[in-house]
Amino acid sequence: MTKSDFLFPELRAYLDSLVPPRHAELQGMEAEAARTNFPIIGPAAGQFCYFLARLAGVRSVFELGSGFGYSTAWFARAVRENGGGVVHHVVWDADLSARARTHLAVLGLDNVVQFHVGEAVAALRDASGPFDLIFNDIEKKDYPASLPVIAARLRPGGLLIVDNVLWRGRVLDGADRSAHTEGVREVTRLVTTDPAWTATLVPIRDGLLVAQRAADKRAAVD
């Protein structure tokens, strides 16, 4: 059982099996992640993110934490099919950024991706925006502090997707008060109780918090 299979692994396998056939490069990225235990959102969550982006007509995406480009590929495909735009791929590690460039070039999606190497929230703070969709997959302890920056850079009516909000089941353990677990709990509480957001938690893989920013309430950022 992998770390993300803490709940109903048979259901996860079933959901993954329903995802339409994928490009060989994308399947290769999935195999690479499985072989190296590298965390990716996986097929079902990737398809769901793609579906949301297509449904909302998303043309601009900012990823806070992009790995070697797996989630980026799903968003980039949606943006391209929505008529073109940009997906910002952001990672600390230059090697990961280079790997992502290679994968996305093979997929023919690199022309809608801008690559950044650096701290993700700082990169978002410096970005001009606003963005149609922001995907958050940074260090979990930093989730709550990232929210004001996200709100300031997300367009009215834009979508926020936060990954790992079930946090491998740790959010269900009342005795777990670690910084990362508390960060996941707090960002979930903030988004689901703030009238500036309309939100739901989708229990695909490790949990996705999906929220729409209200059109008339936007946070300021210093």
The answer on pLDDT for 217 being more than 60 is no
**What DSSP state is assigned to residue 179?**
H
Report if residue 78 sits inside a domain. yes
Per-chain mean pLDDT for the chain: 93
Residue 215: predicted pLDDT: 82
Tally of domains in the chain:
1
Residue 49 lies in a domain: yes
- Map residue 44 onto helix, strand or coil: helix
Judged against a pLDDT cut of 60, whether residue 180 lies above it is answered with: yes
What's residue 5's pLDDT?
A: 55
171 within a domain of the structure (yes/no): yes
Using a pLDDT cut of 70, give the percent of the chain over it: 94
Q: Is the per-residue pLDDT at 59 higher than 50?
A: yes
SS3 for 22? coil
Answer whether residue 14 is part of any domain. Answer: yes
The token pair at 219 is 């946070």
| Residue 218 in this model has a pLDDT that exceeds 80 | no
Mean pLDDT of 163-184: 94
* Residue numbers of the domain that contains 41: 3-213
pLDDT at 7: 65
Residue 60: what are its φ and ψ, rounded to 5°? -140, 125
pLDDT in tens, 68-85: 999 999 999 999 999 999
Residue 122 lies in a domain: yes
Query: What is the per-residue DSSP string for 82-136?
Result: TT--EEEEEES-HHHHHHHHHHHHHTT-GGGEEEEES-HHHHHHHS---EEEEEE
Helix 70-81 to helix 94-106 angle (10° resolution) is 40
What pLDDT is attached to residue 222? 47
Q: Contact at 8 Å (CB) between 58 and 49?
A: no
Is residue 205 one of the residues assigned to a domain? yes
pLDDT of residue 186: 98
pLDDT of residue 201: 97
Q: List, for residues 85-141, the tens digit of each pLDDT value.
A: 999 999 999 999 999 999 999 999 999 999 999 999 999 999 988 999 999 999 999
222 lies in a domain?
Answer: no
* Residue pLDDT, tens place only, 183-195: 999 999 999 999 9
Are 84 and 104 spatial neighbours (Cβ–Cβ below 8 Å)?
Answer: no
The pLDDT, as a whole number, for residue 220 is 44
46 band by pLDDT with thresholds 50, 70 and 90: very high
Determine the Cα–Cα distance for residues 128 and 96; give it in Å rounded to an integer.
24
CATH of the domain at 121: 3.40.50.150
Give pLDDT, residue 129: 83
